[in-house]
Structure 1
Amino acid sequence: MTTAPTTWTTHPTVWAPAAGRVDLHLPGAAHDRDGSTTAVHAMVRREGGWWEAPVDVPHGTDYAFAVDGGDPRPDPRSPWQPHGVHGPSRTFDVGAHEWQDATWAGRDVRGAVVYELHIGTFTAAGTLDAAVERLDHLVDLGVDVVELMPVAAFPGVHGWGYDGVALYAVHEPYGGPAALQRFVDAAHARGLAVCLDVVHNHLGPSGNYLSVFGPYFTDRHHTPWGQAVDLDGPDSHEVRAFVVDNAVRWLRDFHLDALRLDAVHALVDDSPRHVLAEMADAVADLSAQVGRPLSLIAESDLNDVRMVTPTAEGGLGMTAQWADDVHHAVHATVTGERHGYYVDFGPLDVLAHALTRVFVHEGGWSTFRGRDWGRPVPEGTDGRRFVVFAQDHDQVGNRAIGDRPSARLDDGGLAVSAALVLLAPFTPMLFMGEEWGARTPWQFFTDHAEPELVEAIRRGRTEEFGGHGWDDVYGGPVQVPDPQAPETVEASRLDWSEPEAPRHARLLRWYRDLVALRHAEPDIASGDLGATSVEHGGQDGSWLVLHRGGVHVVVVLATSPLRVRATGGTHEVLAAWDGHEEHDDELVVPGRSVLVVRAPALDVVG
């Protein structure tokens, strides 16, 4: 794959509506106040508060803007930050890459098997190019969509990416924007779609210079991160465009197939048309132009199906949304944990509700929130509009010590969790390493340079875990990992030697078998919630059967076996975690195991 020579140039522009003067700083003969050599060009004011440079700037040129004689700052729409988030921007010709994916037809995320990964810890090198070397593993697993955690430029080298501040740039330690283009091209060549996690609801605390240029934030609304992004104020038109254009750019210029939108409930917007609906329509227009599906996946805490209702029907138009209630129900049932937000989850009737109705909190009382929460999912809603998982970056990384379920569950429990997620009527997502029961933790880490900020983060993490019952979970006090410590990052890197060990290899085969079933069996691939039912029973909730049309998933949570009988015709065992015994039409499923059977009907004998 090559990069074409470029003679591309641009006239940098920036929105600074209240500025009396904006200067463009370029490499030149004069000395800037920090001693660097620069050329300064007065920019020309245009309509709508925009300013345009009067000179041609070629690809790969460093530049910065100074507002009203202030310090030069990076472009709010910077495409490239090779010197870090506090340094100058660099121009980037998105058309220089010679794409090899002309025959790529795209992939709608609904019903796909999604795989979430973090570039910095997915491989030892922690780069996009290194991640390409592991894509064949995902193909062999049967993954359809690779979901990258945020790559927008953030402070330092290491981090989760949710404190990004240059939202149009690609983190330089990952390889920069050209590396993302190479990654997407390589994924498409293997039949893998690519989804990118983007954060529009806030910017990180270090390197956020948006307010130097314009009213990007407002005191009218507040979020857990402070001031809200100004989406509905008198000067919000260009801020909304900043958000919508960002989404379109990732999909158009980097050939991405989907975006996962972080915490959209924090995009507070009281305008007549919500910014998400505006984004959905813009992405639909782009999809029509490029001739392939483009998807938007919302992370929403609202438990409101309006999120995935088409804009023409008054909804927000998202293709799919995360469904945390399903995760909570699966996790609490299999692990027995009841602390924090797991307090309303755990019993099998709650899990059965989640597997058939999606939202556990659908208008009733949420103990953790201390109020009624959510709305019911209407009959006929496609279950594939809900992304579900047994693990993800938040549900692992926001535990006190970042321990995965594999650190505490037996292999049978891991097999059960996998079956409940991969064979349910939703869109399943896996978290990197989950498929082999990775023993490496996934911990929270940052790389800030400001001592006060570092101390605030350390103190905040310790205080956050003080009142959530973690001592009970771990059987005593725990030491929260230092987010700034290099060993925290290193501990979170995947160990690619693990899948070769017999125990891990066995679980990996199980995941492959379940993914293959999802691809092969129409009843499992279906998102028809009306064709999904759950029965459960036994002492203390020891078994559950998930019926997916003519396919039945028998889950035994107890250590003792369960007998079931296939009736109404011939049957076929499609998958078994720990084997089974068969006597005519009666099957004996071992304890802590899963059996998947195709049959006209399946009855529990006892």
Structure 2
Amino acid sequence: MIFEVWAPKATAVEVEVMEGRRAMSPGEGGWWSADVPEAGHGTTYGFVVDGGGPYPDPRSRRQPEGVFGPSAVYDHGRFTWSDHDWKGLDLRGAVIYELHVGTFTPEGTFAAAAEKLQHLVELGVDFVELMPVAPVPGGRNWGYDGVDLYAVNETYGGPDGLKTFVDACHRAGLGVILDVVYNHLGPSGNFLRPFGPYFAGFEGSYWGEAVNLDGPGSDEVRRYFTGNALQWLRDFHIDGLRLDAVHALHDKRAKHLLAELSEEVDALACSVGRPLSLIAESDLNDPRMVRPPEAGGLGMTAQWDDDVHHALHCAVSGESHGYYQDFARLPALAKVLTSGVLHDGTYSTFRGRVHGRSYVGVPGHRLVACLQNHDQIGNRPQGDRLPIPALKLGAGLLLTSPFTPMLFMGEEWGARSPFLFFSDHVEPHLRETEAERREREFVGFWPAWDAPDPSAEETFLASKLDWSEVKEEAHWSLLCWYRDLIALRKALPELSDPRLDRVRVETDPDGAWLIMWRGSLAVLVNFTPDSVTLPLTPGTIVLASDEPVTADGEGVRLPGQSLLICRPPAPVEPMGQRV
């Protein structure tokens, strides 16, 4: 077997393998190599760079002893796939379900997660989106402290465990999206620095040092990340990647890393014969993110749309602090439902400046929208979720919207368990200061930060879903509501139509109700706890969240905090403020 590693500034590199060290030979472009014929699948090894180490392989495919242990040879060809008939899924018209492997089930493994796939099939979702699975320090983490980016967390089941999970998803008709982090690496177990110029030398974001995407030596650094993306899609049969916080990628090159990645993934899709998606998390509100490179864009299939989340959250929760303040009234929700974003060149109070550009011409399926996700729950001090009445209304609007909807694990039955921020750093200084770092990240957002200790095991255990809740009447009723909404979205073309210019929204000046028109369908929402009469003849009632819904000569009367989808007999004049 030939061991290879990139170390352009090193004067001597050795591979520590088979209970000895072997000198590696320098080659072109700063690459070193050594042939060790007796090594094979499962052989552990590490690299010694100018006498330092041994360090894990930067492209380690397996870390059986964790981030501080040796790498292990892993042969992708040894795994037997059964998804040969899998042709992939297009993101258009799909519903995504985000989950964290460690808290999705009591066991916290890929194998246990696979046992719950029938639940997701019956729910009606199309894609499972996994939070990051790269190795992290300790036994519990959200995943954004990952290092050894080519490997898979052994706590979850390692590389074979991930492949088995993907294989099971494909057999069940579900696609898999993997969350990857390329804007920084975790603070613990990161041994890239001795090998080469992987870092830019400045803080790229709150989370750590920027990676070197445009400085000297950055050609190979960029290949490190594009190669990682291609590995997941090719060798693990992943169907798409969610790219974490791309606004924290510092790249001044003429061709941005994202555009380069888009081209590479398009080429791979042609090779493997199935659609491959790239979804960017970006708070820039810049439509160039989802426009093709040939049109001057970055070529992402879609991007997360926080503006939709914020407007939905404010409407169903009544919160208006921090970055919610511009979204607190129903006209903000009306705008995001018809324009995709609120800030399209308008003033952002939270940022203290003008923000964003117009998304005119961008189809709604390129905007991934949610009512809850790991960030929006986990960035709350107590990790608390929305209550069932709020979920009922929010889901009704989300799943009839023109966007690509995404749910967060447990949302569909109104899980009571929080989703808290947790970690398990090995170094005492990181473990002891994690809570303080977390509090600093949200200075000025919350009136007070009173969060459980992120390093405590109890914080992690409290975040695990309690699947027994599904059997309780209120939770089962909400689950049925989610199932009905998803089924209706897939049955009625009006509800998945991505054309934003065909969405009309009317709002009550007093903030009591909203009507969203989707073709000839009307989605009526009463946000107040009291019954409200809307002067509209419902015609055919398609789906109602609550009974009784009554109609008379004055219009349709909705119970408090309820939602109705109907098909009025004829077009009606607007009753409130119209967008």
Shorter chain as denominator, the TM-score bin is: over 0.9
| Paired position in structure 1 for 2:366 | 385
Cα 1:585–1:41 shift into 2, 3 Å = farther
Per the TM alignment, residue 447 of structure 1 is displaced from its structure 2 partner at its CA by: 0.4
| Paired position in structure 1 for 2:435 | 458
Contact in 2 for aligned 1:201/1:264 (Cα 8 Å): yes
Matches within 5 A, 1:310-321: 310-321=292-303
Contact in 2 for aligned 1:326/1:355 (Cα 8 Å): yes
Per the TM alignment, residue 412 of structure 1 is displaced from its structure 2 partner at its CA by: 2.8
Matched, 1:529 2:500: yes
Cα 1:598–1:201 shift into 2, 3 Å = same
CA deviations over 1:104-161 (Å, ceiling 9, x no partner): 1111223310000000000000000110000100000001000000001111110000
Per the TM alignment, residue 571 of structure 1 is displaced from its structure 2 partner at its CA by: 3.5
| Paired position in structure 2 for 1:53 | 34
Matches within 5 A, 1:60-75: 60-75=42-57
| Paired position in structure 2 for 1:162 | 144
Once the two structures are overlaid, the 10-residue window that deviates more, 529-538 or 576-585, is 576-585
Contact in 1 for aligned 2:89/2:275 (Cα 8 Å): yes
SS at 1:429's partner residue? strand
Matched, 1:258 2:240: yes
Instruction: Give, as a single letter, the amino acid of the residue that structure 1 aligns with 2:531.
Output: P
Alpha-carbon distance in 2 for matches of 1:72, 1:585: 79
Instruction: Give, as a single letter, the amino acid of the residue that structure 2 aligns with 1:432.
Output: M
Matched, 1:42 2:23: yes
Q: Select which of 45, 60, 66 maps to 1:78.
A: 60
Per the TM alignment, residue 465 of structure 1 is displaced from its structure 2 partner at its CA by: 4.5
Per the TM alignment, residue 97 of structure 1 is displaced from its structure 2 partner at its CA by: 1.4
Q: Select which of 1, 10, 15 maps to 1:19.
A: 10
Matched, 1:489 2:466: no
Matched, 1:558 2:531: no
Matched, 1:578 2:560: no
CA deviations over 1:196-236 (Å, ceiling 9, x no partner): 00001000000001111000001267322342111111210
TM-score normalised by structure 1 residue count: 0.92
Q: Name structure 2 gaps, 5 residues minimum.
A: none
How many positions carry a matched residue from both structures? 573
CA deviations over 1:41-93 (Å, ceiling 9, x no partner): 11111100011122132111111000011120000010001101011001111
Q: What is the Cα-based RMSD across aligned positions, in Å?
A: 1.6
Per the TM alignment, residue 470 of structure 1 is displaced from its structure 2 partner at its CA by: 3.6
| Paired position in structure 2 for 1:31 | none
Q: Select which of 157, 169, 185 maps to 1:203.
A: 185
| Paired position in structure 1 for 2:393 | 416
Instruction: Give, as a single letter, the amino acid of the residue that structure 1 aligns with 2:7.
Output: A
Contact in 2 for aligned 1:563/1:605 (Cα 8 Å): no
Matched, 1:516 2:516: no
Matched, 1:542 2:541: no
Matches within 5 A, 1:274-353: 274-353=256-335
Per the TM alignment, residue 605 of structure 1 is displaced from its structure 2 partner at its CA by: 7.0
Alpha-carbon distance in 2 for matches of 1:287, 1:314: 21
Alpha-carbon distance in 1 for matches of 2:509, 2:287: 33
Alpha-carbon distance in 2 for matches of 1:212, 1:572: 68
Alpha-carbon distance in 1 for matches of 2:502, 2:531: 27
Q: Name structure 1 gaps, 5 residues minimum.
A: 1-9, 28-37, 472-477
Contact in 1 for aligned 2:176/2:238 (Cα 8 Å): yes
| Paired position in structure 2 for 1:595 | 564
Matches within 5 A, 1:51-200: 51-56=32-37, 57-200=39-182
SS at 1:12's partner residue? strand
| Paired position in structure 2 for 1:434 | 411
Q: Select which of 450, 471, 476 maps to 1:505.
A: 476
| Paired position in structure 2 for 1:394 | 375
Alpha-carbon distance in 2 for matches of 1:196, 1:427: 17
Contact in 2 for aligned 1:566/1:601 (Cα 8 Å): no
CA deviations over 1:158-187 (Å, ceiling 9, x no partner): 000000011110000000000110000000
Per the TM alignment, residue 550 of structure 1 is displaced from its structure 2 partner at its CA by: 1.4
Contact in 2 for aligned 1:564/1:602 (Cα 8 Å): no
Instruction: Give, as a single letter, the amino acid of the residue that structure 2 aligns with 1:127.
Output: T
Contact in 2 for aligned 1:461/1:480 (Cα 8 Å): no
Alpha-carbon distance in 2 for matches of 1:299, 1:525: 22
Instruction: Give, as a single letter, the amino acid of the residue that structure 2 aligns with 1:506.
Output: S
Alpha-carbon distance in 2 for matches of 1:584, 1:12: 80
Alpha-carbon distance in 2 for matches of 1:592, 1:441: 23
Contact in 2 for aligned 1:119/1:128 (Cα 8 Å): yes
Cα 1:412–1:225 shift into 2, 3 Å = closer
Per the TM alignment, residue 462 of structure 1 is displaced from its structure 2 partner at its CA by: 3.2
SS at 1:24's partner residue? strand
Contact in 2 for aligned 1:132/1:187 (Cα 8 Å): yes
Cα 1:247–1:390 shift into 2, 3 Å = same
Q: Which runs of 4+ in 1 moved over 6 A?
A: none
Contact in 1 for aligned 2:280/2:300 (Cα 8 Å): yes
Instruction: Give, as a single letter, the amino acid of the residue that structure 2 aligns with 1:571.
Output: G
Contact in 2 for aligned 1:109/1:295 (Cα 8 Å): yes
Alpha-carbon distance in 2 for matches of 1:364, 1:463: 28
Cα 1:227–1:464 shift into 2, 3 Å = closer
Identity of aligned residues (%): 54
SS at 2:53's partner residue? coil
Once the two structures are overlaid, the 10-residue window that deviates more, 544-553 or 575-584, is 575-584
Matches within 5 A, 1:207-246: 207-219=189-201, 222-246=204-228
Per the TM alignment, residue 582 of structure 1 is displaced from its structure 2 partner at its CA by: 3.5
Contact in 2 for aligned 1:400/1:465 (Cα 8 Å): no
Alpha-carbon distance in 2 for matches of 1:43, 1:155: 29
Contact in 2 for aligned 1:564/1:604 (Cα 8 Å): no
CA deviations over 1:406-425 (Å, ceiling 9, x no partner): 2xxxx332211111111110
Per the TM alignment, residue 331 of structure 1 is displaced from its structure 2 partner at its CA by: 0.6
Alpha-carbon distance in 2 for matches of 1:225, 1:132: 31
Cα 1:124–1:144 shift into 2, 3 Å = same
TM-score normalised by structure 2 residue count: 0.96
SS at 2:421's partner residue? coil
Once the two structures are overlaid, the 10-residue window that deviates more, 197-206 or 328-337, is 328-337
Cα 1:316–1:596 shift into 2, 3 Å = same
SS at 1:170's partner residue? coil
Cα 1:559–1:601 shift into 2, 3 Å = farther
Alpha-carbon distance in 1 for matches of 2:206, 2:389: 38
Alpha-carbon distance in 2 for matches of 1:58, 1:151: 24
